[in-house]
Amino acid sequence: MRITVFGAAGTTGSRIVAEALSRGHDVTAVVRDPARLAQLPPAAIHRVGDAADVDTVVELSAGQDVVVTATRPPIGYEHELVAVAKALLAGLSRTGARLLAVGGAGSLTVPGSDGTLVVDDPAYVPPAWRAIALACNDQLAVFRASTDVDWTYLSPAAILEAGERTGSYRLGADELLIDPVGASTISAEDFAVALLDEVERPRHRRTRFTVARTLTPPVSATEAAGR
């Protein structure tokens, strides 16, 4: 498949590019800052472009099967996520490529909370993360209002960070996935596995799903109670 990845040099985007290349896909890796081109793998097509620019989206998605957005704005510019979402939808409505969006966990509900959003639970979203979590919620709302683009929104666990590629993960819908002690984590590597699995075998078209670390080895009730 032909895949364009915006935000290709970031923690998550770089893992998505690597996973897609390892599966034999043709990847166009896009960064906004030319200085980051050197961080991209040689096997990818290297491009500079801004996902918030509709003409750029049209250019870099023309003839592609899938576009992945893994962009994350710097602190103080969280509102850019909504601008990027709108530009992507406007551009892809003209080219017909599918959209896979790396989202946030803030719009998921906390298990056993009668509907409390993760963004409103400081156990999962401390004050320093609240602005980006709220922006991700607004981003999802933009996608949910779209009727012209074949989009999918993938929410990670509460903690998404570089780690190990195990090749496995748990799937969920709109509720945060936690382990027996309440932790919610997934490595960027396994998140990329889940996203590429969705690219290759779509099961969540025009909806959101979530993933988290597989519970292996399982934690017993006795172990959980002792922690």
Q: How many CB atoms lie within 10 A of CB 153?
A: 25
Q: Record the tokens describing residue 183, joined without a space.
A: 């932790």
The residue whose two tokens read 């892809």 is 92
Spatial contact of 185 and 158, defined as CB atoms under 8 Å apart? yes
Looking at residue 204, its amino acid is H
Task: Indicate the pairing of strand 170-172 with strand 207-212.
Answer: antiparallel
Which distant-in-sequence residues (6+ apart) come within 8 Å of 62 by Cβ? Answer: 95
Mean pLDDT (whole number) for 6-33:
98
Residues 44-101: pLDDT tens digits? 999 999 999 999 999 999 999 999 999 999 999 999 999 999 999 999 999 999 999 9
Q: In this structure, which amino acid lies at residue 145?
A: A
Rounded to an integer, the average pLDDT of 110-125 is 97
Q: State how far the Cα of 15 lies from the Cα of 7, in Å rounded to an integer.
A: 11
What are the φ/ψ torsions at residue 171 (nearest 5 degrees)? -105, 145
Task: Sketch out the chain's domains with CATH numbers.
Answer: 2-225 (3.40.50.720)
- Cβ atoms of residues 118 and 109 within 8 Å: yes
Rounded-to-integer distance, Cα 94 and Cα 28, Å: 19
Question: pLDDT above 90 covers what percent of the chain?
Answer: 95
Do 133 and 104 touch, CB atoms closer than 8 A? yes
- Give the pair of three-digit tokens for residue 77: 């510019």
Read off the pLDDT of each residue in 121-126 and give the average, rounded to a whole number: 96
**Cα dist. 35→26, 42, 46, 150 in Å?**
23, 15, 12, 32
**CA Rg value for the chain:** 17
Compare 107 and 227 and report the one with higher pLDDT: 107
